[in-house]
Structure 1
Amino acid sequence: MRKNLYTIFLVFCSQMVFAQTTIIRNSEIAKMISEISSDSLEHHVRVLASFNSRHTLSIDEEEGMPAAQQYVLSKFNHFAKQSGGRMTAEIEKFVIPGDDRRIPTDSPAANVMATLKGINPADDRIFIISAHMDSRNKDVMDEKGPSPGANDNGSGTAAVIELARIMASHQFSATILFVAFTGEEQGLKGATYLADKAKNEGWNIGAVLNNDIIGNSSSSETLIKDNLMMRVFSETIPAAETEQEATIRKYINADNDSKSRQLARYIKEHGERYVDQFEVKLIYRADRFLRGGDQTPFAKNGMTAIRISEMNENFLHQHENVRMEDGVQYGDLPDFMDYEYLRKVTAVNLASLASLADSPDQPLEVKIDVRNLSNQTTLLWKAPKFGKAKGYFVLMRETSSSMWERKFWTTDTSLTLPYSKDNYFFAVQSVAESGAEGIPVLPTPLFKLN
């Protein structure tokens, strides 16, 4: 009996060892995350909610959108003093053309932006962290009624402000653009303006992390209360996919491997690496059912973009006029938010953004060798255009798995693995000297040598 118990104990221990996972955290990123303050986030939300209306068409200089924009700009300018001249801030004004829908006539608008310049002159990538700061009531055209917009989307705007505060004093290879959009509720106007500008001017957009409704942890109707999960939405079939890209996607069965989906997996891995007792849920939709957000115009322009959102929405406090009705308080008020939850979501953003901005560029010409039938898989690639790669991870997962399951390290630009390409998906990512990992790249078939 004692021998049998000992055998069971050994089996149990071996299973425990097999299940162990090594978590390596970059100390600088971990320190930045520790500096995120729920009190600071709450302060920004309450200030933003104190303006009578942040409706896009509100022109009240004291209690409307212009006043709120000046508040965000003042925060960015204050943080810029800690950047050694690398951060600049501005209110970029533009005109929204009348559309006979939610914009009656041509109307003035503006995005508030802070640019943290990267330290590598050869690295022209720009990583955008964004949220919309405009709010609305039940009537989307009500520009004068009180619309505090604490969670939608004071929460996302507060996260962008807090990230700018912490990251301003740190150095990154690539440039980070912190943006508070306007016009989201009127048809994604501010994001469309910036996405079109980025495309027309040829910006090298590394990724767009859009935050929208991220500060509530309890749902209406279902009465779920859970501050342990958040959602990342990513498109399945790229909105800007070309005919040639569609042909390759179908040929290699890569329907679950858009660039935005790779970014979503990246955020899940890095968020859960740095934020304890928190799960990042991958939602295989570009946004919530039949709804959209400011990541959409960037995706339509062929850029890698995702939406970050809370797990459980409360519709008593979203797109509702502030009122008490049958003993129930309606309206998007600051008191209904969970600021510790908002801190966690902000931390996931920071972990991902800091890693991305300090990573090398993606490996080039990533190929999977299909010139001969083989039960082995050979991948080949070229070094990144800029940023020194200490080495590369070749990632592997079963075709039924949502996340990459294994990482194989190499300092070469090719690797042969004893796993059949019939049964697995593969990708390659660059790794910096600091350990910062880039977004994985899915290989395309190599039929012959060039």
Structure 2
Amino acid sequence: MTKFALLLAAAILPVAAIAATPQEIADDVSEQQLRGTVEKLVSFGTRHTLSSQTDPKRGIGAALRWAEDEFDRYSKACGGCLTIVTPSDTVTGRRVPNPTKITDVVAVQRGTVEPNRVIIIQGHIDSRVTDVMDSTADAPGANDDGSGTAAVIEAARVLSKHKFPATIVYAALMGEEQGLLGGKVLADYAKAQGWQVEAVLNNDIIGNSCGSDGYCDDSHVRVLSEGVRGDWTKELIAAQRSRGGFNDSPSRNISRFVEGLADDLGLGLDVRQIWRTDRFGRGGDHIAFQEIGFPAVRFTVAVEDYEHQHQDLRTEKGIKYGDTIDEMDFPYLAKVTKLNVAALAALARAPMPPASEVEGAVKPDTTVSWQPAPGAAAYIIRWRPTNAASWENSLRVPGTATSHVLKGIRVDDWVFGVSSVSEDGYESPVASAVPGGAFEPWAPPAATQ
């Protein structure tokens, strides 16, 4: 075929027929766009949750309206592919002394095949200074969490140009600094909508690479995940004590999935899995999702800079404090955003992880069985030693199968799981074959007669 014929064929071929890979999609992430978004967020002076919701130029209200306008702009560019909603709740509490409306700005890109299966990327748009109740001082919030909000808005710009079988949700959350309020608003909204939330990627402080002690690391990002499910019950803990599962929550397997994806992308960015729900003694907006049974992880920088987060703008003894834009590393932020975008694309293209279980007590063989996953052309059985961090062994079986016997593999010595594979080769995260391993809210098995 001549070069002209190739160009003509490309011109008449429907765009939907040429599906860009997650890496190709991620390559569209723009460092310049990320910088511009953070600069705009900083320009609102403060985005404190208790700041003005009506001032047209300063405060949280102006910032929320701007984020909504950005989502609307990208929706118009893709022919209305984004539905913008603003779930809210009026809250009072220890850090919210007067009734205050907490509003999230959310853009929903509905899936073409499984619109009720949802993958969420989120960051909190509010900011703070040293005194968490100070709603008037300048609080630039460049990194915390202008960086995460910029990643969300950039993901919407990039991914809205493409179509996916599952739904992707982009969320700018309000009220994190006042008690993880926006995360709860969105989690409650997702539950009320009946969404099947497969994964939540919470991005909070993802834009710097050097710490307050001068130590720098721009080649890693931390992904934090819970071990025991946030919606645990006494029955679940009892079942896990008997059959395992303390290191195999769906959130933990999202973390493993993202680590493997980072290795494949060649971004110069590796994932350090941190096996805690959040940093030591701290929290984030992903926790509200975990508590109602939705898998969720937190992305955050490899090394935090405590002099430039939660600080008044000042200089003391030659040390500059405050969350200002000049302390950020935008090439690093671009890498973390690319990893998020690729993960969203890969998750939305792959089928749902299949709920699975194993049987094999006092036998030399292990039987792994699973529920069919819509759109699965194949399944991959994976297993690892009980003390191993990552999956080490695998076996691919046809999409028509719902069980397989692993001969000579004794159930006592291994942890098992199953992933699903789409017809075009996208593999889901692994759903571990343990109590509570399914990517759905935990419910104890029905009692047998």
For normalisation by structure 1, the TM-score amounts to 0.88
Residue 133 (str. 1) matches residue 120 (str. 2): no
Aligned-pair CA distance for 1:433: 1.1
**Does 1:144 find its partner at 2:146?**
no
Moved more, 389-398 or 145-154: 389-398
2:378 is aligned with what amino acid?
G
- Count matched residues: 415
Q: Which residue of 1 aligns with 2:104?
A: 111
**Structure 2 Cα separation of the partners of residues 91 and 371 of structure 1:** 50
Question: 2:439 matched to which residue of 1?
Answer: none
CA contact (8 A) 2:116 2:194 kept: no
- Give the % identical residues: 38
| Cα distance between partner residues in 2 of 1:30 and 1:201 | 31
Conservation of the 8 A alpha-carbon contact between 2:360 and 2:411: no
Q: Which residue of 2 aligns with 1:421?
A: 411
Asked if 1:394 corresponds to 2:385, the answer is: no
Q: CA deviation at 1:422?
A: 2.5
Q: Which moved more, 1:200-209 or 1:160-169?
A: 200-209
**1:192 aligns with one of 169, 175, 184:** 184
Q: What's 1:94 paired with?
A: 89
What is the CA distance between 1:275 and its match in structure 2? 3.7
1:400 Cα deviation after fit: 1.8
State the Cα distance separating 1:200 from its structure 2 match: 3.7
Structure-2 residue corresponding to 1:57: 50
Task: Tell me the amino acid that sits aligned with residue 163 of structure 1.
Answer: A
Encode CA deviations 1:78-113: one digit per residue, 9 max, x unaligned: 1112333321224344322x22x2101101231111
SS in 2 for 1:231: strand
- Please name the residue that 1:155 is paired with: 147
Question: Does structure 2 conserve the Cα–Cα contact (< 8 Å) formed by 1:275 and 1:344?
Answer: no
After TM superposition, the structure 1 stretch with the greater mean CA deviation from structure 2, 188-197 or 156-165, is: 188-197
For the pair 1:340 / 2:331, whether they are aligned, the reply is yes
1:54 and 1:136 in contact (8 A); partners too: yes
Aligned equivalents of 2:79, 2:189: Cα separation in 1: 27
| CA–CA distance in structure 2, aligned partners of residues 345 and 92 of structure 1 | 27
* Contact 1:272 1:348 (C-alpha < 8 Å) held by counterparts: no
Measured in 2, the distance between the counterparts of 1:407 and 1:83 equals: 40
Cα deviation digits, residues 197-218 of structure 1 (max 9, x gap): 3234432211111000000100
Matched, 1:40 2:29: no
User: Which of the numbers 372, 375, 389 marks the counterpart of 1:383?
Assistant: 372
| 1:228-267 equivalence runs, <5 A | 228-267=219-258
Deviations along 1:127-171, one digit per CA (max 9) or x if unpaired, are 111000100000001111000000000000000000000000111
What SS does the corresponding residue of 1:106 show, helix, strand or coil?
strand
Match of 1:6 in 2: none
SS at match of 1:150: coil
Moved more, 256-265 or 83-92: 83-92
Letter in 2 for 1:323: R
| Partners of 1:157 and 1:123 in 2: CA distance | 24
| Structure 2 contact 102–175 (Cα < 8 Å) conserved | yes
SS of the equivalent of 1:226 reads coil
Any unmatched runs of 5+ in structure 2? Answer: 1-18, 436-444
Partners of 1:382 and 1:198 lie apart in 2 by 24
| Contact residue 271 and residue 347 of structure 1 kept, 8 A | no
What is the rounded CA distance, in whole Å, between the counterparts of 2:263 and 2:142 in structure 1?
26
The answer (yes or no) to whether the contact 2:45–2:58 under 8 Å persists in 1 is yes
SS at match of 2:51: coil
Q: Does residue 318 of the first structure (1) align with residue 309 of the second (2)?
A: yes
Q: Distance in 1 between matches of 2:239 and 2:151?
A: 38
- Secondary structure of 1:127 counterpart: strand
Single out whichever of 405-414 and 152-161 deviates more from structure 2: 405-414
Which runs of structure 2 are paired with 1:294-313 in the superposition (5 Å)?
A: 294-313=285-304
What RMSD, in angstroms, separates the aligned Cα atoms of the two structures? Answer: 1.9
| One-letter identity of the residue aligned with 2:338 | A
1:27 Cα shift? 4.9
Pair 1:73-2:60 in alignment: no
The alpha carbon displacement at 1:402 in A equals: 1.0
Shift of the 27–203 alpha-carbon distance from structure 1 to 2, 3 Å rule, reads: closer
Using the TM superposition, give the Cα deviation of residue 114 of structure 1 relative to its aligned residue in structure 2, in angstroms. Answer: 0.6
What is the CA distance between 1:356 and its match in structure 2?
Answer: 1.1
CA shift, 1:390, in A, is 1.1
The equivalences for 1:363-382 within 5 A come to 363-364=354-355, 366-370=356-360, 373-374=363-364, 376-382=365-371
Match status 1:438 vs 2:432: no
Aligned mates of 1:246, 1:94 — CA distance in 2: 33
Q: With structure 2 as the length reference, what TM-score do the two structures score?
A: 0.88
The answer as to whether partners of 1:275 and 1:347 remain within 8 angstroms in 2 is no
Tell me the CA shift for residue 378 of structure 1: 2.5
- Higher mean alpha-carbon deviation, 331-340 vs 70-79, is at 70-79
Equivalent residue letter for 1:396:
W
Q: Is the 8 A contact 2:87 2:189 kept in 1?
A: no
2:172 is aligned with 1:177 = no
Structure 2 partner of 1:291:
282
Give the alignment partner of residue 216 of structure 1, picking from 189, 202, 208: 208
TM-fit CA distance, 1:363: 2.0
